[in-house]
């Protein structure tokens, strides 16, 4: 100690500092490992005894640890009372008596792998399926003047939007049930569909609607959508038999056979023959894929199982109408979908009810307005997609279902907000150019297009760094014109003295947005005329030969690809600037909605300008 005191003061301070460090290194350190102390979903449930029974299910199925990990989930959490009612319905006294597979399916049905707030709910299916693969349906109910949000039409949300460290919880008062019945079984179980069931069995379609889900070589599942008619509809459907001029009611199988099933050539009438009219009658009520009311509200045309035949769909007010169209200036009244009964999820598809009998309509070519941003992957990003203030995001090669390309595997095809464009967004190719450092060619799958002859218009945002030689291919055949996306048409900023719409059209250009804003740099170019030989979905591809010296990450942006019948006005209707077509709003073919604006509406409107 005396030696230590004899040391110079600087050395003594240094030695004391080193001794302190050694002592601290030997003591236990208490380090805060997380800056967010919000409990994860499992921790929240474990801390709340009101949900102990569902916690027991999570423990039994080993999902308790899964729901305690990092992620962004949504859980619909049943109360203890809801689980007790579920057990009572099954006739069991404990959860251990329920098969493990059933409990695992149950848990997965209550979890979505995306965080969804109630403000993002729509009157219909949620954008993201459950982990079980079935979609959940949300809606609104009013009981005793108290409004509540329902899930799958049976459960009410009693507490909503509980924030946790890895997602969000909505508490529900009933357990959600996995749909285990096939379409055929679900239809047969409804006594109001007894005649429709007879028709299915007579045509052989009952067996087809009773099959489990399979996938083809392209990994496309065999889900089907059925439009069913109740006995009440058949009881009000009549037909005058031309053979004897007598009117009969189509409320028996024999009368339906008399009306629809006819001999083909020398062969007698056979409803099981796919070419028989009664068989086609059923085929016309079956649509490939999972299509909920939200899809019918936003998709203008659906391809049916009847060869080359389609059903049109539109939202009119709060009603979804099938086959309500105007042809040759005549309005054809549509058939309504019964919203309160529809959206019934089955193990192999979804069931809807319609309020009238309907038959196959021979369709004339009809315009299709294909917004390239209408992609399911974009729509699933509910935080940004078509939201005010939404940020750009994209997907790499192989991550999109209906879009493929060659070139870079790391560069993306982006959703890009652009306020004045159709629906307020553009589809942006990150470096649309040849070589490994770009996206060389991009192929989109179109919506259903009715067979006929069409002009293809491609709208784009003009940019001095964009491709100068974009080729357009329809079903593998190149169209007659290239698109130079650096080019603006001869269109002076002073529109009162600019070229008229018809003059621009004669040059292969048009202003497709109303009102037109010169600074937006949005124009449409005629790519060519094509013959659509079959009704269905088709392929349109953009190919560039622009080299690496151009084509920056903000250069090539597209808006809508229009397929307009050649005998249709190619300018009107136009698209409203910035309109955001969200699920449940009017479809692109609905002039009664806000998506399109007619010449007459423009002339009458606040922004009307009869010259354009």
pLDDT in tens, 210-240: 999 887 777 778 899 999 999 999 999 999 9
Both 305 and 256 in one domain: the answer is yes
Both 414 and 345 in one domain: the answer is no
Structure confidence at residue 122 (pLDDT): 77
The CATH number linked to 60 is: 2.30.180.10
The domain boundary residue, chosen from 140, 172, 204: 172
Instruction: Give the pLDDT band (50/70/90) at residue 384.
Output: very high
Read off the pTM. Answer: 0.66
The CATH number linked to 409 is: 2.60.120.260
Both 307 and 426 in one domain: the answer is no
Residues 6+ apart with CB under 8 A from 340: none
Residue linked to tokens 């003594």: 12
Q: Rounded to whole angstroms, how far apart are CA atoms 130 and 78? A: 15
Find, among 343, 331, 330, 229, the residue nearest to 296 by Cα.
Answer: 343
Domain-embedded: residue 363: no
Q: Rounded to whole angstroms, how far apart are CA atoms 161 and 188? A: 38
Look up the domain containing 457 and give its range: 368-604
Residue linked to tokens 């553009």: 426
**184 C-beta neighbours (distance < 10 Å), count:** 22
Residues 571 and 507: beta-carbon distance below 8 Å: no
Number of independent structural domains in the chain: 3
The domain boundary residue, chosen from 354, 383, 404: 354
Both 350 and 383 in one domain: the answer is no
Q: At 501, list the tokens.
A: 């719409």
Q: Rounded to whole angstroms, how far apart are CA atoms 377 and 351? A: 25
Both 428 and 280 in one domain: the answer is no
Q: Say what percent of the chain tops pLDDT 90.
A: 61
Residues 6+ apart with CB under 8 A from 575: 369, 422, 512, 513, 514, 560, 595, 596, 597
Both 588 and 461 in one domain: the answer is yes
Structure confidence at residue 12 (pLDDT): 54
Both 280 and 140 in one domain: the answer is no
The domain boundary residue, chosen from 172, 195, 212: 172
Both 339 and 383 in one domain: the answer is no
Q: At 190, list the tokens.
A: 């409804």
* Beta strands at 146-151 and 330-332: parallel, antiparallel or unpaired: unpaired
Domain-embedded: residue 361: no
What does the pLDDT look like over 545-585, one tens digit per residue?
887 655 566 789 999 999 999 999 999 999 999 887 654 34
The CA distances from residue 100 to 58, 135, 175, 176, 418, in Å, are: 11, 22, 16, 17, 50
Both 187 and 135 in one domain: the answer is no
Residue linked to tokens 């079959």: 534
Both 436 and 330 in one domain: the answer is no
Both 190 and 110 in one domain: the answer is no
Both 525 and 413 in one domain: the answer is yes
């Amino acid at each position: 100690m005396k030696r230590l005191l004899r040391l110079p003061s600087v050395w003594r301070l240094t030695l004391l500092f080193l001794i302190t460090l050694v002592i601290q290194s030997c003591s236990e350190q208490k380090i805060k490992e997380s800056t967010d102390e919000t409990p994860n979903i499992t921790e929240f449930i474990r801390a709340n005894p009101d949900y102990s029974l569902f916690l027991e299910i999570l423990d039994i199925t080993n999902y308790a640890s899964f729901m305690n990990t990092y992620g962004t989930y949504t859980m619909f959490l049943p109360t203890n009372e809801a689980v007790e009612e579920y057990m009572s319905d099954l006739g069991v006294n404990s959860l251990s008596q329920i098969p493990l597979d059933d409990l695992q399916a149950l848990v997965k049905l209550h979890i979505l792998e995306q965080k969804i707030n109630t403000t993002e709910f729509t009157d219909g299916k949620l954008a993201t399926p459950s982990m079980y693969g079935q979609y959940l349906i949300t809606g609104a109910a009013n009981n005793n003047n108290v409004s509540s949000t329902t899930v799958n039409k049976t459960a009410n949300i009693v507490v909503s939007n509980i924030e946790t460290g890895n997602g969000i919880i909505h508490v529900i008062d009933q357990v959600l049930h996995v749909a285990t019945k096939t379409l055929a079984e679900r239809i047969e179980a409804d006594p109001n569909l007894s005649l429709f069931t007879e028709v299915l069995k007579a045509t052989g379609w009952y067996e087809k609607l009773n099959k489990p889900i399979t996938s083809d070589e392209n990994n496309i599942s065999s889900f089907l959508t059925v439009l069913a008619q109740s006995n009440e509809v058949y009881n009000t459907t009549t037909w005058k038999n031309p053979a004897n001029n007598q009117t009969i009611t189509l409320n028996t199988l024999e009368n339906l056979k008399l009306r629809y099933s006819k001999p083909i050539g020398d062969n007698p009438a056979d409803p099981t023959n796919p070419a028989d009219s009664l068989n086609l009658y059923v085929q016309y009520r079956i649509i490939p894929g999972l299509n909920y009311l939200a899809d019918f509200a936003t998709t203008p045309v659906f391809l049916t199982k009847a060869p080359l035949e389609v059903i049109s769909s539109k939202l009119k007010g709060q009603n979804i109408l099938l086959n309500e169209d105007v042809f040759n200036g005549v309005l054809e009244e549509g058939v309504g979908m019964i919203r309160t009964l529809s959206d019934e999820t089955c193990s192999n598809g979804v069931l809807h009810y319609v309020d009238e009998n309907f038959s196959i309509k021979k369709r004339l070519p009809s315009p299709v307005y294909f917004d390239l941003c209408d992609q399911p992957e974009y729509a699933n990003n509910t935080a940004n997609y078509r939201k005010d203030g939404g940020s750009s995001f994209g997907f790499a090669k192989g991550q999109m279902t209906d879009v493929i390309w060659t070139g870079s595997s790391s560069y993306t095809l982006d959703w890009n907000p652009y306020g004045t464009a159709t629906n307020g967004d553009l589809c942006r190719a990150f470096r649309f150019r040849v070589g490994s450092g770009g996206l060389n060619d991009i192929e989109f799958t179109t919506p259903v297009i009715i067979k006929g002859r069409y002009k293809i218009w491609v709208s784009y945002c003009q940019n001095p760094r964009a491709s100068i030689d974009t080729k357009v291919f329809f079903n593998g055949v190149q169209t007659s014109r290239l698109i130079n996306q650096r080019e603006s048409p001869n269109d002076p900023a002073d529109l009162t003295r600019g070229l008229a719409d018809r003059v621009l059209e004669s040059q292969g250009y048009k202003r497709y947005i109303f009102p037109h804003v010169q600074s937006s740099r949005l124009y449409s170019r005629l790519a060519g005329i094509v013959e659509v030989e079959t009704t269905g979905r088709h392929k349109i591809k953009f190919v560039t030969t622009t080299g690496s010296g151009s084509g920056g990450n903000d250069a090539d942006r597209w808006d809508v690809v229009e397929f307009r019948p050649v005998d249709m006005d190619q300018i009107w209707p136009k698209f409203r600037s910035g309109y955001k077509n969200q699920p449940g709003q009017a479809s692109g073919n609905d002039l009664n909605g806000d998506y399109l604006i007619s010449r007459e509406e423009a002339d009458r409107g606040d922004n009307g300008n009869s010259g354009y």
